[in-house]
Structure 1
Amino acid sequence: MAVAIQSIGLKGIEGYPVTVEVEKLDGVESVVVVGLPGAAVKESKE
């Protein structure tokens, strides 16, 4: 099942739109982050 939600990101005091997409598959245990995430985001999946 795939779900997409609208959110915002912040750069200083300016906001910009972000689409977050999630898909859950039975029997699959993994996290994949695409795009250009920061080091804190990459470390958070562990």
Structure 2
Amino acid sequence: MKTIEEIYKTYEKPIFHYFYGLTGDYNLAEELTQETFFQIIRTIS
């Protein structure tokens, strides 16, 4: 099973780029990316 760090390193950039493309707002894309990982960690913990 992948560690949380491995998951983050693998998916952070694609998720950020998805949200940035969707919103066109760098800060909002960062916030949504962080929230996504918060929810992932909360779900698997």
Same fold (TM over 0.5): no
Higher normalized strand content (fraction of residues)? 1
| Structure index of larger Rg | 1
TM range (shorter): under 0.3
TM-score by length of 2: 0.22
Higher normalized helix content (fraction of residues)? 2
